[in-house]
């Protein structure tokens, strides 16, 4: 079994936007908020408020990644995506951060605050004169409204992409806006404006043809409010707090509901647990009619980007029911062995971020009819020692020529939630 | 007093033995009028005379031989030197050991009880039976292990390969026996090889049962080598017993020394391999039917309790932080 996400998301890496510091008077920049504008007008009016963010590798002196940003406060505060500046945050001794203005001026930038769950970051640039800012929309657009994404795709230059607001994505825990328009790498962190030239969201990710995702404006407003109120804490603590409360929200949403059971082959498995966990299934007779396989796979479609080699926030659950009439019992278990041997976690994590898995295996079951072999593996997050990835795998062995193979991965959960889920899963799935 | 002269080879095996009663002198050389005739070109026609003195001791007198007389340390000894019972003389390339007839000999080696087993095993019908059983088991066990269709040609290739190894191994040892003990015992060696081959056939099954029940799947290879070693050393012991004239203790030392150093050659180097970071879990994935699960199952709560320990980070990983 290999676990591939049905929805492969590309994170968009943004390009630096040039900041205009030509002698333009701020008053000439004011736009009429009631005026309906097309893409051409919007771009003309706002191109001097767009920036390209560059993560510079100090050793080579070259840009290692790029993204887009825009000014939210005249005192030099810009907003962008967390993933645009994640390399710099994780290794600030190796990288430095630069912002390129519309007029091709380079400014040094620092990170002020981050929101890893909603993929946002606030930057501060060293700029004396006040920056023209992008105003926030006061109302949420309606489905079908034209909105415009701005950003610098693949360092090709600042672009404007018209598209359609299509509400919040279904089956989502994080309220992403579904934008029907093309966002490309480099545009991450760029603003998305309504026809009045007000901010409605921030470019964050794409999923292929005209399917793009935006972080809603409200998330940015919350981050700015928190930043204005709070003392600055280090980013590790900030990320840890966000990850811990987010996993609590996710796991409560799962654990506080009644799990319905549905039939899969002759077995009873867990049905839909939650709106943001979607299930897919298929049956397969690839073994030349020697055995039958039916599977059901449930997972959340979102994950939390932490670093290029580290993601978390994944929940996945899989059930495979195998049966055969033609194989002998030994042959059947031989076949099952192959299916049982190659499970891995659904999230990416490298040595810098997690420990190696430690596994425990045993036979579980009380009555002779419900025995299964279970494997449970745990790895700890190095930067956030309260959080773990857990991986569970079991195969029922008590029936002749029938077996249910179950697997789940929880990533970025604490011990209490992980063990509560394990207990419940063991009791419910047999 | 009688004198015994042995012609031996470099590894001290006796080539020919002479016994002389009540003799005052014994002539040794290549010429045909000698008492001891040595057919070795570096020996002179009349090489030496062993002569008994009045005191009853023996001395070696060199008859102006080309290569002289040397002792067991290859030192030339002067003519007229005394020869004691058990001394070895080197003439050219021939070794002669001189014994007094009272010279003590070793106690008899007791016959191993397995000798009778080998006798019965070497009966052609028994060997044939073993051969047929081996082929039958190979067919059955391969079929049980393979859930896709069994290919007859692959099975045949596998069988032929195994039979070539079995017959080759047996022939090698019977050749050894033929040279060293003038006793080939081919059928006994063949029977031993077949029994060992059948043990190897069952090894994966035994291993799977052991590792499944006691959750040792991650040690599968190591345990496999260990059991392999036991089977191999048993077979080698039988081969040594049948082919080589060896004392029991030195046979055990040789057999185990060879076997376990071979096992170590396979087991040790991987321990020094650099273990990179594994981002995937390493777990025991073996699965067998419930009918061969001998150990008790845990209750759900006990399993959850047992897994708590996984949340504690191992010490060596703490240091990497």
* Reported ipTM: 0.83
- Comparing C-alpha atoms, which of A123, A92, A112, A89 is closest to residue A307? A89
Give bridge partners of residue A217 from the DSSP assignment.
Answer: none
Per DSSP, B278 falls in state P
Cα–Cα distances (Å) from A193 to A20, A46, A361, B141, in that order, read 19, 10, 54, 70
* Contact status, residue A394 vs residue A374, Cβ threshold 8 Å: yes
Neighbours of A228 (CB within 10 A): 10
Whether A1 and chain B come into contact, CB under 8 Å, resolves to: no
Q: Which two tokens stand for residue A419?
A: 């063990």
Give bridge partners of residue A161 from the DSSP assignment.
Answer: A149
Whether B272 and chain A come into contact, CB under 8 Å, resolves to: no
Cα–Cα distances (Å) from A361 to A333, A403, B85, B213, B216, in that order, read 17, 18, 72, 11, 10
Minimum distance, in Å, between the CA of residue A157 and any CA atom of chain B: 38
Give bridge partners of residue A93 from the DSSP assignment.
Answer: none
Whether A252 and chain B come into contact, CB under 8 Å, resolves to: no
Q: DSSP readout, B157-211?
A: HHHHHHHHHHHHHHHHHHHHHHHHHS---HHHHHHHHHHHHHHHHHHHHHHHHHH
Q: Which two tokens stand for residue A98?
A: 């630069």
Distance CA B141, CA B166 (A): 18
pLDDT of residue A304: 94
Minimum distance, in Å, between the CA of residue B277 and any CA atom of chain A: 6
Neighbours of A161 (CB within 10 A): 21
pLDDT of residue A287: 57
pLDDT of residue B320: 47
A359/B317 Cβ within 8 A: no
Whether A358 and chain B come into contact, CB under 8 Å, resolves to: yes
Distance CA B51, CA B249 (A): 41
User: Residue B68's pLDDT band (boundaries 50, 70, 90)?
Assistant: very high
Distance CA A81, CA A94 (A): 20
Chain centroid offset of residue B75 CA: 35
Question: With 90 as the cut, is the pLDDT of residue B67 above it?
Answer: yes
Using an 8 Å CB-CB cutoff, list chain A residues near B295: 363
Minimum distance, in Å, between the CA of residue A356 and any CA atom of chain B: 6
**Residue B113: strand, helix, or coil:** coil
Searching chain B, which residue's CA lies closest to the CA of residue A420?
Answer: B304
Per DSSP, A43 falls in state H
pLDDT of residue A12: 32
pLDDT of residue A329: 86
Minimum distance, in Å, between the CA of residue B192 and any CA atom of chain A: 30
Instruction: Pick B152 or A306 by higher pLDDT.
Output: A306
Among candidates B148, B286, B290 on the partner chain, residue whose Cβ is nearest the Cβ of A398: B290
Cα–Cα distances (Å) from A92 to A36, A44, A96, A110, B112, in that order, read 43, 35, 6, 10, 77
Minimum distance, in Å, between the CA of residue A170 and any CA atom of chain B: 31
Identify the residue whose tokens are 């990170």.
A111
A333/B287 Cβ within 8 A: yes
Using an 8 Å CB-CB cutoff, list chain B residues near A348: 279
* Contact status, residue B104 vs residue B4, Cβ threshold 8 Å: no
Minimum distance, in Å, between the CA of residue A346 and any CA atom of chain B: 10
**Residue A242: strand, helix, or coil:** helix
Whether B300 and chain A come into contact, CB under 8 Å, resolves to: yes
Distance CA B29, CA B43 (A): 6
pLDDT of residue A7: 32
B300/A376 Cβ within 8 A: no
Q: DSSP readout, B236-257?
A: HHHHHHHH----HHHHHHHHHH
Give per-residue burial for B111-125: e unless 16+ CB within 10 Å, then b. eeeeeeebeebbeee
Element (H, E) at A330: helix A329-340
Burial label, A100 (beta-carbon count in 10 A; 0-12, 13-18, 19+):
buried
Q: DSSP readout, B121-169?
A: HTSHHHHHHHHHHHHHHHHHHHHHH--SPPPHHHHHHHHHHHHHHHHHH
pLDDT of residue B317: 52
pLDDT of residue A14: 28
Distance CA B101, CA B4 (A): 6
pLDDT of residue B82: 93
pTM of the full predicted structure? 0.81
**Residue A276: strand, helix, or coil:** coil
Element (H, E) at B259: helix B248-271
Give bridge partners of residue A245 from the DSSP assignment.
Answer: none
Per-residue pLDDT of chain A (430 residues; tens, 9 = 90+): 333 333 333 333 322 222 222 223 333 344 455 567 788 898 999 988 999 999 999 999 999 999 999 999 998 899 999 999 999 998 989 999 999 998 888 999 999 999 999 999 999 998 767 888 999 999 999 999 999 999 999 999 999 999 999 999 888 889 899 999 999 999 999 999 999 999 999 999 988 888 999 999 999 999 999 988 876 678 889 999 999 999 999 999 999 988 888 899 888 888 888 888 899 998 876 656 788 889 999 998 889 999 989 999 999 999 999 998 888 888 898 889 888 887 877 788 998 999 999 999 999 986 656 889 999 999 999 999 999 999 999 999 988 899 999 999 999 999 999 999 999 999 887 6
Minimum distance, in Å, between the CA of residue B198 and any CA atom of chain A: 20
pLDDT of residue A124: 92
Across B47-56, average pLDDT = 92
Which A positions 258-317 lie with beta carbon below 8 A of chain B? 287-288, 290-291
Distance CA B192, CA B239 (A): 8
**Residue A220: strand, helix, or coil:** helix
Q: DSSP readout, A355-414?
A: ---EEEEEEE-SSTTS-EEEEEEEEEBSS-TT-EEEEEEEEE-SSTTEEEEEEEEEEEE-
Among candidates A329, A375, A415 on the partner chain, residue whose Cβ is nearest the Cβ of B311: A415
Give bridge partners of residue A55 from the DSSP assignment.
Answer: A65, A97
Burial label, A263 (beta-carbon count in 10 A; 0-12, 13-18, 19+):
exposed
Distance CA A158, CA B294 (A): 69
Searching chain A, which residue's CA lies closest to the CA of residue B284?
Answer: A361
pLDDT of residue A18: 24
Whether B151 and chain A come into contact, CB under 8 Å, resolves to: no
Which own/partner contact pairs does A1-5 have at CB distance under 8 Å and 24+ positions apart? Answer: A1/A318, A1/A320, A1/A339, A1/A342, A1/A343, A1/A405, A1/A407, A2/A342, A2/A344, A3/A297, A3/A316, A3/A318, A3/A343, A3/A344, A3/A345, A3/A346, A3/A407, A3/A409, A5/A299, A5/A301, A5/A346
A287/B147 Cβ within 8 A: yes
pLDDT digits (tens, 9 = 90+) for B99-130: 998 999 988 888 888 889 999 998 999 999 99
* Contact status, residue A306 vs residue A313, Cβ threshold 8 Å: no
Per DSSP, A128 falls in state S
Roughly how many angstroms between the first and final C-alpha of chain A, as a whole number?
A: 19
Burial label, B8 (beta-carbon count in 10 A; 0-12, 13-18, 19+):
middle
Question: With 90 as the cut, is the pLDDT of residue B291 above it?
Answer: no
Cα–Cα distances (Å) from A42 to A29, A30, A99, A197, B228, in that order, read 12, 12, 22, 7, 78
Q: Phi then psi for A36, rounded to 5 degrees?
A: -80, 125
- Beta strands B58-62 and B48-52, pairing class: antiparallel
**Residue A340: strand, helix, or coil:** helix
Distance CA A422, CA A407 (A): 11
Cα–Cα distances (Å) from A43 to A49, A159, A207, B25, B160, in that order, read 10, 8, 25, 128, 79
Q: How many residues does chain A have?
A: 430
Across B10-20, average pLDDT = 89
Q: Phi then psi for B235, rounded to 5 degrees?
A: -65, -45
* Contact status, residue A84 vs residue A122, Cβ threshold 8 Å: no
Using an 8 Å CB-CB cutoff, list chain B residues near A350: 277, 279
Among candidates B303, B310, B320 on the partner chain, residue whose Cβ is nearest the Cβ of A378: B310
Give per-residue burial for A118-151: e unless 16+ CB within 10 Å, then b. bbbbbbbbebeeebbbbeebeebbeeeebbbbbb
Question: With 60 as the cut, is the pLDDT of residue B189 above it?
Answer: yes
A423/B281 Cβ within 8 A: no
Element (H, E) at A422: helix A415-428
Identify the residue whose tokens are 């840009």.
A63
């Amino acid at each position: 079994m290999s676990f591939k996400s049905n929805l492969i998301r590309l994170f968009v890496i943004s390009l630096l936007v040039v900041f205009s510091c030509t002698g333009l008077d701020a008053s000439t920049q004011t736009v009429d908020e009631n005026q309906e504008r097309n893409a051409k007008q919007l771009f003309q009016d706002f191109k001097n408020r767009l920036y390209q963010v560059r993560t510079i590798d100090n050793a080579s002196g070259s840009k290692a990644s790029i993204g887009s940003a825009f000014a939210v406060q005249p005192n030099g505060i810009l907003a962008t995506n967390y993933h645009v500046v994640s390399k710099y945050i994780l290794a600030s001794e190796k990288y430095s951060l630069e912002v390129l203005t519309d007029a091709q001026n380079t400014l040094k930038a620092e990170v002020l605050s981050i929101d890893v769950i909603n993929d946002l970051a606030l930057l501060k640039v060293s700029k004396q004169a006040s920056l023209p800012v992008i105003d926030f929309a006061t109302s949420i657009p309606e489905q079908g409204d034209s909105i415009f994404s701005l950003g610098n795709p693949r360092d090709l230059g600042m672009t404007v992409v018209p598209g359609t607001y299509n509400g919040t994505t279904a089956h989502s825990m994080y309220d992403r806006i579904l934008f029907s328009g093309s966002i490309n790498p480099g545009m991450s962190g760029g603003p998305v404006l309504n026809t009045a030239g007000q901010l409605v969201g921030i470019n964050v990710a794409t999923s292929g043809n005209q399917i793009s995702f935006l972080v809603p404006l409200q998330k940015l407003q919350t981050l700015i409010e928190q930043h204005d109120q709070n003392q600055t804490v280090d980013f590790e603590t900030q990320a840890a707090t966000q990850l811990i409360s987010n996993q609590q929200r996710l796991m409560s949403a799962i654990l506080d509901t009644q799990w319905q059971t549905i039939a899969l082959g002759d077995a009873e498995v867990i049905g839909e647990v939650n709106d943001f966990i979607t299930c897919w299934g298929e049956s397969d007779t690839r073994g030349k009619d020697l055995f039958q396989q039916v599977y059901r796979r449930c997972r959340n479609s979102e994950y939390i980007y932490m670093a290029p080699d580290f993601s978390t926030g994944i929940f996945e659950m899989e059930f495979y029911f195998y049966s055969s009439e033609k194989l002998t019992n030994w042959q059947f278990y031989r076949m099952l062995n192959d299916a049982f041997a190659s499970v891995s976690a659904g999230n990416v994590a490298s040595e810098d971020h997690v420990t190696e898995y430690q596994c425990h295996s045993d036979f579980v079951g009380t009555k002779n009819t419900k025995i299964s072999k279970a494997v449970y593996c745990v790895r700890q997050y190095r930067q956030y020692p309260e959080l773990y990835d857990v991986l569970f795998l079991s195969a029922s062995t008590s029936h002749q020529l029938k077996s249910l193979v179950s697997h789940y991965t929880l990533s970025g959960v604490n011990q209490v939630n992980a063990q509560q889920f394990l207990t419940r899963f063991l009791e419910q799935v047999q | 007093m009688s004198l015994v002269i042995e012609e031996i080879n470099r590894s001290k095996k006796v080539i020919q033995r002479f016994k002389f009663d009540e003799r005052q002198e014994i002539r040794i050389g290549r010429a045909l009028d000698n008492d001891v005739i040595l057919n070795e070109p570096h020996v002179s026609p009349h090489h030496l005379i062993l002569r008994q003195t009045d005191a009853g001791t023996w001395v070696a007198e060199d008859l102006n031989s080309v290569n002289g007389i040397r002792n067991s340390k290859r030192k030339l000894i002067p003519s007229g030197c005394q020869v004691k019972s058990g001394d070895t003389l080197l003439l050219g390339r021939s070794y002669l050991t001189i014994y007094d007839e009272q010279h003590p000999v070793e106690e008899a080696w007791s016959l191993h009880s397995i000798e009778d087993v080998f006798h019965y095993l070497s009966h052609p019908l028994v060997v044939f039976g073993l051969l047929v059983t081996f082929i039958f088991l190979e067919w059955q066990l391969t079929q049980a292990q393979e859930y896709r269709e069994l290919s007859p040609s692959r099975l045949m290739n596998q069988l032929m390969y195994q039979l070539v190894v079995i017959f080759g191994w047996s022939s090698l040892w019977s050749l050894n026996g033929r040279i060293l003990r003038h006793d080939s015992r081919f059928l006994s060696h063949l029977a031993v090889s077949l029994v060992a081959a059948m043990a190897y056939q069952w090894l994966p099954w035994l291993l799977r049962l052991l590792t499944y029940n006691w959750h040792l799947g991650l040690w599968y290879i190591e345990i496999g080598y260990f059991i392999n070693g036991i089977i191999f050393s048993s077979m080698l012991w039988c081969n040594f017993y049948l082919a080589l004239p060896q004392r029991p203790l030195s046979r055990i030392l040789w057999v185990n020394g060879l076997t376990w150093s071979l096992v170590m050659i396979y087991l040790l180097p991987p321990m020094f391999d650099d273990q990179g970071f594994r981002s995937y879990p390493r777990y025991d994935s073996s699965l067998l039917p419930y009918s061969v699960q001998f150990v008790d199952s845990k209750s759900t709560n006990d399993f959850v309790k047992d897994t708590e320990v996984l949340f504690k980070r191992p010490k060596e990983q703490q240091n990497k932080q």
